Structure 1
Amino acid sequence: MTTLAELGPRICIMGPSNSGKSTLAVAIARQRQLPAIHLDQLFHLPHSNWQPRPEADFLQLHDAAIQQPHWVMEGNYSRALPQRLQRATGFILLDLPTPTSLYRYFRRTWFEHARHGALAGNKDSVKWEMLHHIGVVTPRNRRSYAALFDSIELPKLRLGNPRELEAFYRAEALQR
């Protein structure tokens, strides 16, 4: 298994919604003393109900963030992926099963009032659009995630189920 040290000082984390990207990014950031960058926070306006920023504003924030010398960045946003991967020194793909993501979505909206990667001033709630995204859109995206993972020539790590994710947390002494 690729180690955290092998992933370098600029780590890109991708995967389905509610797979644990934000929590992992914060754990790595804490362990390695890197800034954690949550792309949802750059894409959406704070104190809104997930209202997107203008595209040019998001891309400007994204491109400024990747120019930092050190970071762990989580989120997908494929339109900004080429420049992100060009700067990244390591890549992690979380590929947890759809039922796990659905469970985590309900848990976070119903019980976790303060969570990593949340929008400032926003309270999560169950939304039909997100259920559709997790249950219908994401399973179709898995092939593209797998192809992307195979094509990346950076040090990389694929965690495909909760057991593998938990083993990585233990092996690297990461704390949630």
Structure 2
Amino acid sequence: MRYLASPAQLRASLLRWSLFTVPLVLALGFLSGRSAGSGPDNPWFASLVKPGLYPPPATFGIVWTVLYALMGVALAMVLSARGARGRGLAVAAFVVQLALNLAWSPVFFGLHRIAFALGIIGALALALAVTIALFWRVRPLAAGLLLPYLAWVCFASLLNWQLLALNPGADGASSAGATVRVQLAH
């Protein structure tokens, strides 16, 4: 015998999953970036020539916070779809794309491997497209929540490629040769 959940029970399940997945995805993203020393204060990154379409540095923290929250809600929507065909495969695809996402910062900012990071972000875009297709089969709205993420990953891929083109000597450079900023007080 199959039991159907009431709308209130479905909302409660989504809320419970969201209370777990949103903080988890946010924390993993934060820890990945923090452990890699990502951001404009990274001396190696600060020394790179930036492309013309590089946004203000504060943009990245804001955008990634919103995207990680959307990712957590999308995952919660799929996880709360108990009994939905393809749910397990969709969650597995999400885990793969998230692992690629979390690998990018340590490779780019930590190891200074711009070309390898470009490969990772290319694989991320592909894995994310697969995840969106699989989420669509389970919960179309969950797939829709990932579309801004895909757009940002495509933009970030372009930035990564331009950083490689503008800084070929920086790919794999050791941090020992990084530029050090010194501010003198007036």
Question: TM-score band, normalised by the shorter chain?
Answer: under 0.3
Which has a greater percent of helix? 2
Which has a greater percent of strand? 1
Higher relative contact order, chain-length normalized (CA < 8 Å, sep 6+): 1
Tell me the TM-score normalized by structure 2: 0.25
Tell me the TM-score normalized by structure 1: 0.26
